[in-house]
Amino acid sequence: MKKLTENIIPILIILSVLMAIAVVATQYNEGDKKPSKLDNLSGPSVETILPKLKPTPWQNFHEGNKNRLSILLTDPSAYWLDFAHALKTIGIPFSITTDINEALQHQVVIIYPLNVRDSVNSYEIELLTHFTLGGGTVVGIHGADKNVGLDQLFGVKSLPLQMKHTKIVFQNPERFNFTNVREREISIGNKGMKNYIFPSRGFNLLESTAIAVYEDGDAAITERRLGKGRLIAVGLDLGQYIHKGYSGRSREFSRPFMERQDVAETKLEDYIDLNVYEPSIDNFLRFMKHIYQEGESDAICLRTVPFDRALTVILSHDMCFSSAYDFALDFAKFEKEAGITTTYFVQTKYILDYLDYAFFNEQAIKILNQIKDLGLELGSHSVSHGQEFKGFRMGTGKEEFPEYNPYNVDKNITIDGSILGELRISKFLIEKFTKNTVVSFRAGFLSDPLQLPEALNATGYLYDSSVLAYSSLTHLPFQLNYNNGATAELNIFEFPITDDEEERPYQHLGRRFNFSKLLNISKNLENYGGVLFLLIHPTMAGEKLEFEKELVTTLKDTAWFGSLKMFGAWWAARNQVEVDVVTENGKKIVYLNAPVPISGLTLQLPNHWMLDKDSNEVNNIVMKQEKNQIQNLSKNNLNNIILNTFSGHRKLIFIEQEPF
Ligand SMILES: [Zn+2]
């Protein structure tokens, strides 16, 4: 009996191995067999050529009238480009100059940066004093501890640049309408990880007061009132700080990230409802906007949300599981009924591997076409969805279906993948089978390579959504630079994701959105026109669909809803809008230039400006100027007007009323 058992066991083992091989072989055959509609297809045949790195000259931002904020650039190698993009994002009209006399013709001047020893000489300090006495506002970024004259001017004693502060705390947050604790405080470092502390300079107060302080009590942002004007010193390089966020390299400052690090694995349940609101960059932008509006009598800003709605909501779905195709139409039909447009990011998975089946097949194509026919957007979610996409090589730009075969060996390793292959072929296949132009991209696992901006640019994409808001420290879109560097801008915009219901480490816990937490975030975003960008994997209907319905019902009266393609197009058009003001015969003439048509652009005007109804042009382009009704919408007390669709040069005439 013993002998028989001994004989049977090896036989059984051999049999099971053979069976396992047979099962695997069958699966691989299914995977290798391309769905019939993909048969005989090859492409794309046109080679992708990467753009050359061409530094953006600061002179591109030199034009404009005196109403604009002026950046006096003292060091063209500083992070001025990210700073400029940030001002565009928050909607402050600005121009850049290296000439102090030109800068001082404006009412608000930012000197950037001040850390160069002789960035401002004694003669220029005299000019700045005179300018301030007459009512001008000077903001000095980064301070300078070697320039005694500058310290005197700003009424401070600059302390050396150090890497020890982790946060900036606003002393009078109401002034900037900061209500949330993450607005009253800005994160600039993580004590747990020494390398992750951003360099900052403290100030001792002499003839100034502190707008904000570091945790050790040193002043971080100071203000000196002088004559009719004032001087504000900021103790860190805002351009560099913004650059860290915009290039996706600031995760370490992110408070949600730190809190996650702090919680032991065993207590995962405790932080499932984590607040993912991380507006550190947005706070700086709101601060700058406030300073501009206080200091410039003709301050006109562009709101961040179409049609003066309180916030923007983008709903998106990632089609990166075979099960997503079982429920996607339930979501799509609801969205169509609700009258909103959303984005479906499609993974064109035609290879069976560790991650999933080759689910981009005939059935999937049918469903995608139904989604498209409902008027919803199809974007790309790559071919392989490889975890290590951020480490992929760029590729040749000649990758073609079906020869391109990125293969996920396991959850971390993908072989034969390239950045251009992922972008080119997914776009090609979706466009081929749905006759839909693909302009939006989201990386699998949000694993985004530094070279993604130029790769997107070369392959015909316009909008990216591959970062989480809490990693980029902002809930507003921004323009990307070549190689995520600081010198060359590209015509690609990033739209950070507010929340992802399956983000690790939650997925295995079946985390779902927490509705009340999300509404709290949306309330915060309403204060400044942020974007609530949600990612819902349609791997089930039930609970997830109910959540989406509840969200749409709750926010439809306050939010502007749109797909990434819709909002992206609006954002890119807004990015090119120029606003200039001149005063003629006591009237304020506003010159607008929109190279690309834009609908629902909203101007925030000084409080006492009213449209001059006698101007015909006004009636053609203004939808409404709604004093007293704005509270319900954009929640700010300025005087907003919404513009109808227009493009090219337009002129609006305003009369100033007595301030009330
Ligand atoms: Zn995915």
Question: Per residue, what are the HEC states of 249-316?
Answer: CCHHHCHHHHHHHHCCHHHHHHHCCCCCCCCHHHHHHHHHHHHHHHHCCCCCEECCCHHHCCEEEEEE
Cα 138 to ligand 1 centroid, rounded to whole Å: 47
Q: Which residue has the higher pLDDT, 145 or 413?
A: 413
What pLDDT is recorded for position 268? 45
Ligand 1 centroid distance, CA of 359 (Å): 13
- How far is C-alpha 311 from the chain's CA centre? 14
**Which residue type is seen at 376?**
L
CA of 440 to the centre of ligand 1 (A): 14
CA distance 204 to 380: 52
Alpha helix (H) ranges present in 527-651? 542-555, 564-575, 616-621
Around ion ligand 1, residues with a beta carbon closer than 5 Å are 318, 320, 444
Tell me the CATH class for 303-572: alpha beta
Element (H, E) at 29: helix 2-32
The Cα 584–Cα 263 span in angstroms is 62
Task: Tell which wins on pLDDT, 610 or 252.
Answer: 610
Q: How far is the CA of 366 from the centre of ligand 1 (A)?
A: 20
Q: 446 CA to middle of ligand 1, Å? A: 8
Q: What is the mean pLDDT of residues 312-328?
A: 96
Q: What is the mean pLDDT of residues 319-344?
A: 97
Other Cβ atoms less than 10 A from the Cβ of 469: the count is 29
How far, in Å, from the CA of 548 to the mean position of ligand 1?
18
Q: Report the SS3 class of residue 4.
A: helix
The single residue listed with the structure tokens 């070697």 is 146
Q: Give 220-256 pLDDT, tens digit per residue.
A: 999 999 999 999 999 999 999 999 999 987 777 888 7
Q: Pick one of 3.40.50.10140, 3.90.220.20, 3.40.50.880, 3.40.50.12780 as the CATH number of 64-298.
A: 3.40.50.880
Contact 156, 208 (CB under 8 A): yes
CA 400 to CA 403: how far, in whole Å? 6
**Cβ-based neighbour number of residue 573 at 10 Å:** 17
* Amino acid code (one letter) for 328: A
Give the C-alpha separation, 640 to 529, whole Å: 13
* 622-637 tens-digit pLDDT: 766 654 443 334 444 4
Q: What is the pLDDT of residue 20?
A: 46
pLDDT at 619: 59
**Sequence-separated (6 or more) residues with CB below 8 Å from residue 468:** 276, 446, 496, 497, 498, 500, 503
* 442 Cα to the center of ligand 1, angstroms: 8
Look up tokens 């030199």; give the residue.
62
pLDDT at residue number 1: 42
- Ligand 1 mean position to 398 CA, how many Å? 25
Rounded to two decimals, the pTM is 0.91
Percent of the chain as helix, strand, coil, to the nearest 5: 35, 25, 40
Q: Mean pLDDT across the stretch 107-130?
A: 88
Question: What phi and psi values does residue 600 have, to the nearest 5 degrees?
Answer: 75, 20
Sign of the Cα torsion 242, 246, 247, 248 reads positive
Whole-number pLDDT of residue 582:
96
**What is the distance in A from the centroid of ligand 1 to the CA of 387?**
10
Confidence of residue 514 (pLDDT cuts 50, 70, 90): confident
d(Cα 349, Cα 473) in Å, to the nearest integer?
32
